[in-house]
Amino acid sequence: MMMAMMQKMQQAQGSTAGANPAAMGAAKASKPEKQAEEGIIPEVQELCEYFNVEDRWIKRLNETMSKRRDTLAEDIEKLY
């Protein structure tokens, strides 16, 4: 279900469905990137920049993920 929603979002943004987030980073490199806020987990910052998440939600997600350090990689992967 999550994958279908992501594909629809990507199509609406004009990108190809199923695109690799790492590959998309090259396209974003031309835009001025946000400076990583102090204390934000880099993986959370990257995820939120990819999906253009508002700052208030970045902070809330970061707080939650800070409590889940042991499963951080798996959690981030599922959110993509």
DSSP characters over 11-65: HHTTPPTT--HHHHHHHHTTSPPPPPPTT--HHHHHHHHHTT--HHHHHHHHHHH
Report the chain (80 residues): mean pLDDT per 10 consecutive residues.
58 54 48 59 97 97 96 96
Asked if 77 contacts 6 with a C-beta cutoff of 8 angstroms, the reply is no
pTM over 0.85: no
User: CA-to-CA distance for 72 and 33, rounded, in angstroms?
Assistant: 23
